[in-house]
Chain A
């Protein structure tokens, strides 16, 4: 494996993106893009094969291309090949190729098909760059390419205002995380003087373990850096509290959802954590990772219970699973988290593509209340979908079972509370997946037009994926756990095994019991509780907090105002009861005009003042930017 060949893996899709951007004929563009990705798939399989031969502790193979030199430090573009990147690249290209083929069928009626494949290829290029990059700066650049491509893809149907808004949301929310990431990168450069993960001279970021000895902002450098990197990962991987963009991203075409949610983009965040694991280890941030993951897993699973949109359920399921991956990395080490990532990529891609097939079969209907009885007209899709579901709920001996089992075992060994949270999330996973299947497959069709099976070009990838979804876990378990850093817990305690089987089977049973014989679609759903359906009001909360930080002040002022009014009423009441004639003069003068009303007015004024900067006045924004620059520079000078 030479540098050129390794570089070809991301460059081929990039080339395809460049070429297809000039094309108009969708079919030709799709053939071109698929061919490019297939070639890079073959290449990455070769690379994977090569990397598989390496032991976990072997020095990774480095391929460095010098980029620029600033003063004495050189900044390189480089690629790295070790089992982690090899496996990821193989997975991304493989799943990616299947999704490409599938979307050639799915998008065949769209006028802008060529453009779609251009974006897809761009996305794949960025993702492969992320996977293979050996330097944080290249990693970040590709990370941003992925962000741009996902923005373009999510809002691909930009004539729909929701799609456009969803794209914007995804872009902006991940930007919050990226900001942290970027500051982290700068800090890394400042502390270590290099941005390479590994170098030949063994002084790469991941090869230096003395980061704790350096201080930044009063904490150890490793802590701060890993926290900042984790912020980036949270944004990209849709962890709480930055998960809100992910379900909205379902507005994009279904293959996009599959590509973004299953295989690649969201995995990038997890991959980042896995990649920079030594930093997290050194910085002692792993419990935080585990806890964030666990809470995400639980909350997302609850929300998934209350959703009716087919793809949204899967989206929240993804968020939940990503949380589990974080738990895996945080509590049990890289190998476990990555194992779940890989298996999840296959079965979640399968589920999304299956969902796409269902949606296409039901004439663009996404509401599960309007489906039902699809088992008969769409047999292949149903089988594939059920395979994916089984893997997701961790039915014994499917791939999901093995990986989830590892996670739970790791959590049991290191962090008992997290274990229980994760187990509960797994239980809920089984429940909501059963609920979804009960809605969709048995019974009679509740929609308007008769459903139909999807074309071969779509079902064949589904079937290939279902084989992997069922079998990959058993197949790859040993070697993955062997080769990735971080040793899993062996043997598994009996409790863990029991719990993990119990949550899977129990969840399915629970779901089955609740929904069996119920007139689905007509009566209210017992599990779709208000908080679940409204997604715990996350969007609304953000609307009131992050989205309108300044409005928040107004709201708070008004609440305080109301409170004070209430207190005043109370006081007036009390005072009037105590002694009327005596109290009135003091009340009016002192309490009304001075204390309460005056205070309220001041609070309102304050609210209005803080909303002022957001007024569409361009020089004002410029000034704020400059102010930010000043503060940042001051920070840098201070940190020096």
Chain B
């Protein structure tokens, strides 16, 4: 049970999760597969020693985003999908082809560089302090403005989401502001 095995297992979990999420007709199943994907990715983050990111991944994606998507699904269409309908959109074959093309285009530089990066080994991080603490210090010290902007963005997104989702009533009010 070493690192490599863990990597393959987690990779398989994430890939299968993502595939199921993307291909499943039943949306709720799809969302749960998506959550499996998120969890697998969190595992990969742990494997890369980014434990805080792993927690945040679970907290934000599995905890918040998943629920949000579930709510959206419950508020919109038939959950299990209409059986008479196609799952895929028109000409999805070409979509798959293009996705494959993108894949190749991304892969090409990676493969070309493999001899270069193959020997890159991760540094042994001997961090005296906890990395979470380090991260927090970093967030306050050089990135405080980013954090503030991010907070502003989240607030704006919150208001925007509420306004957009509220629909009718909000826009009636909005017309008077000019």
Q: Do A and B come into direct contact in the complex, CB within 8 Å? A: yes
Interface centre among A623, A626, A629 (most CB of B within 10 A): A623
Complex contacts, B95 vs chain A, CB 8 Å: 619, 623
| 28 sample A-B contacts, Cβ–Cβ < 8 Å, listed by A number | A112-B178, A617-B89, A617-B90, A619-B89, A619-B90, A619-B91, A619-B92, A619-B95, A620-B90, A620-B91, A623-B91, A623-B95, A626-B99, A626-B101, A626-B102, A627-B98, A627-B101, A629-B102, A629-B105, A630-B98, A630-B101, A630-B102, A630-B105, A633-B105, A634-B105, A637-B105, A637-B108, A637-B109
B71 within 8 A of A: no
A637 vs B98: C-alpha distance when bound (angstroms): 18
A112 to B109, CA, bound (A): 53
- Say whether, besides A619-B89, A619-B95, A620-B90, A111 and B178 are in contact (CB < 8 Å): yes
List B contacts of A629 (CB < 8 A): 102, 105
Interface hits, A621-640 → B, CB 8 Å = 623, 626-627, 629-630, 633-634, 637
A70 CB to closest chain B CB (Å) equals 16
Contact partners of A620 in chain B: CB under 8 A: 90-91
Give chain B interface residues in 71-94, CB to chain A under 8 Å. Answer: 89-92, 94
Within 8 A of B (CB), among A97-124: 111-112, 115
Which partner residue on chain B sits nearest A627 by CB separation?
B98
Contacts of B92 in A (CB 8 A): 619
CB distance from B78 to the nearest CB of A (A): 20
Q: Are B178 and A115 in contact (CB under 8 A)?
A: yes
Count chain B residues whose beta carbon lies closer than 8 angstroms to a beta carbon of A: 14
Taking a contact as CB atoms closer than 8 A, the residue among B98, B105, B109, B178 that contacts A623 in the complex is B98
Interfacial residues, chain A to chain B (CB-CB below 8 A): 111-112, 115, 617, 619-620, 623, 626-627, 629-630, 633-634, 637
Interface residues of B (CB under 8 A from A): 89-92, 94-95, 98-99, 101-102, 105, 108-109, 178
Let me know if B98 and A626 touch, CB within 8 A. yes
How many angstroms between the C-alpha atoms of A633 and B107 in the bound complex? 12
Closest CB of chain A to B33's CB: distance in Å? 21
| 8 extra interface residue pairs, beta carbon distance < 8 Å, beyond A619-B90, A630-B98, A634-B105 | A617-B90, A619-B91, A619-B95, A620-B90, A623-B94, A626-B101, A627-B98, A637-B108
By a CB distance below 8 angstroms, the chain B residues around A630 are 98, 101-102, 105
Give Cα distance in the complex from A393 to B89, angstroms.
61
> Can you name the residue of chain B whose Cβ is closest to the Cβ of A626?
B98
CB neighbours of B101 from chain A (8 A): 626-627, 630
Contacts of B109 in A (CB 8 A): 637
A623 to B94, CA, bound (A): 8
Q: Chain A residues near B89: list those with CB within 8 A.
A: 617, 619
- Secondary structure of the B side of the interface? helix
CA of A626 to CA of B101 in the docked complex: distance in angstroms?
Answer: 9
Between B91, B92, B105, the greatest number of chain A beta carbons within 10 A of the residue's beta carbon is seen for B105
Chain B residues lying within 8 Å of A112, measured Cβ to Cβ, are 178
Looking at A111, A112, A630, the one whose CB has the most chain B CB atoms below 10 A away is A630
Nearest-CB residue, chain B, relative to A114: B178
Report the bound CA distance from A111 to B178 in whole Å: 8
* Nearest chain B CB to A22 CB, angstrom units: 11
* Interchain CA distance A344-B44 in the complex, whole Å: 63
Tell me how far the C-beta of A39 lies from the nearest C-beta in chain B, rounded to whole angstroms: 26
Chain A's closest residue to B94 (CB) is A623
Complex Cα–Cα for A617 and B109 (A): 32
Tell me, in angstroms, the Cα distance from A548 to B136 when the chains sit together. 54
A637: nearest chain-B partner, CB-CB: B108
| Residues of chain B lying within 8 A (CB to CB) of residue A634 | 105
Instruction: Select from chain B the residue with minimum beta-carbon distance to A111.
Output: B178
Q: Report the bound CA distance from A634 to B94 in whole Å.
A: 19
Q: Which residues of B have CB within 8 Å of A633?
A: 105
User: From residue A42, how far is it (CB to closest CB) to chain B in Å?
Assistant: 30
CB distance from B91 to the nearest CB of A (A): 7
Distance, CA A115 to CA B102, complexed state (A): 44
CB distance from B117 to the nearest CB of A (A): 15
In the bound complex, CA of A172 to CA of B89 (Å): 29
> In the complex, how many angstroms separate the beta carbon of A610 from the nearest chain B beta carbon?
15
Closest A residue to B104 by beta carbon equals A630
Contacts of B98 in A (CB 8 A): 623, 626-627, 630
With a cutoff of 8 Å between Cβ atoms, the chain A residues found around residue B105 in the complex are 629-630, 633-634, 637
A620→B95 CA distance, assembly (Å): 8
Report the minimal beta-carbon distance from B149 to chain A, rounded to whole angstroms.
14
From residue A77, how far is it (CB to closest CB) to chain B in Å? 15
CB proximity of A624 to chain B, nearest CB, Å: 9
Residues of A within 8 A of B91 (CB): 619-620, 623
A-side contacts of B178, CB under 8 Å: 111-112, 115
Instruction: Tell me, rounded to whole Å, the shortest Cβ–Cβ distance linking B164 to chain A.
Output: 18
Give the shortest distance, in Å, between B102 (CB) and chain A (any CB). Answer: 6
Nearest Cβ on chain B to A167's Cβ, whole angstroms: 17
- Kindly report which residue of chain A lies nearest to residue B178, judged by CB atoms: A112
Q: From residue B12, how far is it (CB to closest CB) to chain A in Å?
A: 26
The minimal Cβ–Cβ distance linking B106 to chain A, given in whole angstroms, is: 8
Q: Which chain A residue shows the least CB distance to B92?
A: A619
Shortest CB-to-CB span from A628 to chain B, Å, is: 10
**CB-defined contacts of B108 to chain A, threshold 8 Å:** 637
Q: How far is the CA of A626 from the CA of B92 in the complex (A)?
A: 14
- In the bound complex, CA of A150 to CA of B91 (Å): 39
- In the complex, what distance in Å separates the CA atom of A630 from the CA atom of B100? 10
Q: Roughly how many angstroms separate A633 CA and B92 CA in the complex, as a whole number?
A: 23
Residue of A nearest to B97 (CB): A623
- Chain A residues whose C-beta falls within 8 Å of the C-beta of B90 in the assembled complex: 617, 619-620
* Bound CA span A637–B109, Å: 8
Q: In the complex, what distance in Å separates the CA atom of A629 from the CA atom of B98? A: 10
Tell me, in angstroms, the Cα distance from A115 to B177 when the chains sit together: 11
Residues in chain B near residue A617, CB distance under 8 A: 89-90
